[in-house]
Structure 1
Amino acid sequence: MMNKDYILRLAEKFGRALAIILRLREYNQYEEALIYIDDLFVQSVGLTSRFINSLSEDMLLQTFSPLGILNVEACLWTATLLKAEGEIYQDQGNNDESYYRYIKSLYLFLAVLLQEQPDNVPEQTQQVTELLEKLGSYELSNTVKLKLFAYYEHLGQYAKAEDTLFELLESGPVTPTLLGKGQDFYARLLAKSESDLANGNLAKEEVREGQEQLQRFARQDE
């Protein structure tokens, strides 16, 4: 978990970089902004924008997780700069390029936030909210939805987590791994108090109903 002083130092660095990018965008200096971002990628994580954008979300996360330990600073720099790139392409009406950057940015932000207490990283939580709004008209991949499912539970937004779980089940494939995640999710919810569940917009009876629906998916898969 990151301490608050570290988060503040990172936020200051991000803020300075984003202020320059925003100024270039305001003057329609898109190429200059993209060159600046590429330079920041090389300085901060030692990789070019082209290489980063050639990797899948999972491969990116593995790249920033040597020995299985997430390099949080590299991950946050990359997520922040990918979002900034996406906004530049969106300014230019290139929605395909912006979409791929937003998806990767969202995935990396979620990976970091799943390791943090939400109150500890309000700025990054806000970035996720903004990215979900930008991607609202798109169908998210199952890879991203799995992270989102875990993220909503982490926030205590249990109804949203359940909705995301059933989106995954309905879009398929219904794998043993997904069913196991669902069963574990409902076991954790049933161990919570009524008030905790209510704060997450669920009631105990709704949890039991969801658990029964999950079992129906399991039986269909047999």
Structure 2
Amino acid sequence: MFERDYLIRLLAQAGAVLGKAAGLKDLGKPQEALQTIDEFMSRELRLRSRLAMGLTDEDLLSMLSLTGSPNAESVAIVASCLKQEAELYASLGEEDESVPRFEKSLRLTLHALRNELEAEGWDARKRAEELIASLDPYETEADTKKALWGWHEEEGRFADAENLLFELGEAGALSAEEGQAFYTRLSGMEDAALDAGGLPRDEMEEGRRQWGALTKENEA
């Protein structure tokens, strides 16, 4: 109970800090806002922003675990801090700092959604959509595309998932077997579900054929 109460209080504190940072941004003090966020992360999570960005997603999630799996509150806080930092860096025109933060925040948020990590007062689905919109103008990393690929499939957006599948395949970031497994899963869907996902069965089968041709070409 004590641990749960602590995490809820920490989430509230994070909300206050992010609100303060937003106010500093509005006052034209983005660097002070960035410092406020970084100091909070260091003080409360023993995790500075640059360390969070330097860790793999798996190592970062491991750091945010208390009982063997990441807790929802810590994931929500770090994802929210990185999102706001990304927005601050974007306001400064520093895309090399903002885009990677948008991406890592999105991957953490999608991890929370796919693993049903729910933090009180944190609308992960809404935040994910905001992050996706923020990243729309940019070419994202393979890890981000993979996370989005799985998320689109789970959400029934099959056409979007297939588009990412081919982007990953052309970049050599996805194996032939992973793509084949995707089409095998879709082949077991009802026609109505495929239609709703923007990928009617005949188009899905054509996509499967093209995937096979692409992976054979890559192997040649």
User: What's 1:4 paired with?
Assistant: none
CA distance in 2, matches of 1:164, 1:62: 27
Look up the equivalent residue of 1:181 and give its one-letter code: E
User: What's 1:186 paired with?
Assistant: 183
Look up the equivalent residue of 1:139 and give its one-letter code: E
1:50-109 per-residue CA deviation (whole Å, 9 max, x = no partner) reads 321232445434443578623332222111100101111112222221112112111211
CA distance in 1, matches of 2:66, 2:9: 23
For structure 1, which segment, 66-75 or 91-100, has the greater mean C-alpha deviation from structure 2 after superposition? 66-75
| Residue 64 of structure 2 corresponds to residue 64 of structure 1 | yes
User: What's 1:134 paired with?
Assistant: 134
SS of structure 2 residue aligned to 1:84? helix
User: What's 1:110 paired with?
Assistant: 110
Query: Are 1:44 and 1:74, in contact at CA under 8 Å, matched by a contact in 2?
Result: no
User: What's 2:205 paired with?
Assistant: 208
Shift of 1:42: 2.6
Call closer, same or farther: CA 1:208–1:122 in 2, change over 3 Å.
farther
Call closer, same or farther: CA 1:26–1:64 in 2, change over 3 Å.
same
User: What's 1:197 paired with?
Assistant: 194
Aligned residues: 211
Gaps of 5+ in 2: 1-7
| Residue 159 of structure 2 corresponds to residue 159 of structure 1 | yes
User: What's 2:171 paired with?
Assistant: 171
For structure 1, which segment, 140-149 or 125-134, has the greater mean C-alpha deviation from structure 2 after superposition? 125-134
Look up the equivalent residue of 2:181 and give its one-letter code: D
Call closer, same or farther: CA 1:168–1:67 in 2, change over 3 Å.
farther
Call closer, same or farther: CA 1:151–1:117 in 2, change over 3 Å.
farther
Gaps of 5+ in 1: 1-7
Call closer, same or farther: CA 1:130–1:216 in 2, change over 3 Å.
same
Q: Provide the identity percentage.
A: 33
Look up the equivalent residue of 1:183 and give its one-letter code: Q
Look up the equivalent residue of 1:131 and give its one-letter code: L
Look up the equivalent residue of 1:209 and give its one-letter code: E
Call closer, same or farther: CA 1:20–1:74 in 2, change over 3 Å.
same
Call closer, same or farther: CA 1:50–1:141 in 2, change over 3 Å.
closer
User: What's 1:3 paired with?
Assistant: none
Give the RMSD, CA atoms, in angstroms: 2.8
Q: TM-score normalized by structure 1? A: 0.82
Call closer, same or farther: CA 1:200–1:12 in 2, change over 3 Å.
farther
Q: TM-score normalized by structure 2? A: 0.83
CA distance in 1, matches of 2:11, 2:123: 8
CA distance in 1, matches of 2:57, 2:30: 25
Shift of 1:143: 1.4
1:139-167 per-residue CA deviation (whole Å, 9 max, x = no partner) reads 11111111110010111111100110011
SS of structure 2 residue aligned to 1:47? coil
